[in-house]
Structure 1
Amino acid sequence: MVSPRVVLIGPPGAGKTTVGQLLATRWDLPFVDTDEVVSRDRGQSISDIFVAEGEAAFRRYEEAAVRSSLNGPGVVALGGGAAVQPWAAAALADLPVVFLDVTIADASGRIGFDTSRPLLAVNPRASWTRMMNERRPAYETVARWRVDTAGRTPEQVADAIEALA
């Protein structure tokens, strides 16, 4: 069975997509962002899915996207909430998972806490902090490695991952 060279997890603003694209280019591998897969397959943005169908429907679509993405070569970036879902630990077991850890200062500079992120729509900074506190144990449990992104460029984060994977 073919599996990804690396799977990136972490909260919104950790740099999963940016770093994942860099690694995929360096390694000449395909890149998959599971949020983009869901959005493309459903023909609407993640925010629109949340509004029209609710979080439970989004999570079902997300699980299907993640499971199919883990069955091929490449670099995979999971949506921020995927790694904390009940099915995730088993799906990610024995895979090269990297938790991109980020502070709220770095995350806010990267994503700006705009309304395109449905779980951060109300009081974004407080919501992000609460979300990170809730998700951190799961991120740490499913990850083989943790890479701190604080003050690092995407290239420096990619370099750190290359040294691990």
Structure 2
Amino acid sequence: MPVVVLIGPPGSGKSTTGELLAERLGVAFRDTDADVEQVAGKPIGEIFFDDGEEAFRALEAAAVGKALAEHEGVLSLGGGSILDAATRELLAGHTVVYLKVGLDQAVKRVGLASARPLLVLNPRSQLRKLMEERRPLYEGLAVLTVPTDDLEPGEVADQIRAELKLESE
């Protein structure tokens, strides 16, 4: 079972913070987006383009289920993985941390010329909509919410570690 599972929208810092937190705790880091790309043999953008969002979400749900069962370090989930009801059920009982980010910060971090498939048309508008739709799910799953605006990833990692009273292995 993962020590911590990080959730949040694109640009919240799940991967960067997760790597730093794992390093501080002396455990492995795993990102389910990377798992999906490895299984598919291509980047997420190409999966969306070639196979569609539904195919991507199926790969993502399988990757999350596998990682929750196998991984014992810090786990970062793709921003939309929590849309799957079965995934939300699997997250019950896990130490889930929601990395909350404001729209302006998320836009800066993601960039408007993004390769993220759900943000292709009007990135700022799409990101706002996506964040508003998912916020209640993120909040409902989290045992801890950490606002990341104006914080460095290391500060976020330290805050998670302190608030959850996590020790190095």
Q: TM-score range by the shorter chain?
A: over 0.9
Residue 36 of structure 2 is aligned with which of 35, 38, 41? 38
Report how many residues are paired: 163
Matched, 1:81 2:72: no
Matches within 5 A, 1:1-165: 3-71=1-69, 72-165=71-164
**Distance in 2 between residues matched to 1:149 and 1:113, nearest whole Å:** 19
Query: Residue type of the partner of 2:129?
Result: R
Deviations 1:6-38 (A, max 9, x none): 000000000000000001111111111100110
**Distance in 2 between residues matched to 1:42 and 1:84, nearest whole Å:** 20
Q: Is the 8 A contact 1:10 1:16 kept in 2?
A: yes
**Distance in 1 between residues matched to 2:89 and 2:107, nearest whole Å:** 31
Q: Specify every segment of 5 or more residues in structure 1 that has no aligned partner in the other structure, as ranges.
A: none
**Distance in 2 between residues matched to 1:164 and 1:65, nearest whole Å:** 28
Query: Residue type of the partner of 1:9?
Result: I
**Distance in 2 between residues matched to 1:69 and 1:35, nearest whole Å:** 11
Deviations 1:31-52 (A, max 9, x none): 1110011011111000000010
**Distance in 1 between residues matched to 2:107 and 2:20, nearest whole Å:** 21
> What CA RMSD, in Å, does the superposition of the two structures yield over aligned residues?
0.9
> Aligned-pair distance for 1:137?
0.5
Q: Classify 1:153/1:93 alpha carbon distance in 2 versus 1 (closer, same or farther; 3 Å).
A: same
Q: Specify every segment of 5 or more residues in structure 2 that has no aligned partner in the other structure, as ranges.
A: 165-169
In structure 2, the residue corresponding to 1:70 is in which secondary structure?
A: helix
Q: Percent identity?
A: 45
TM-score for both structures, normalised by structure 2: 0.94
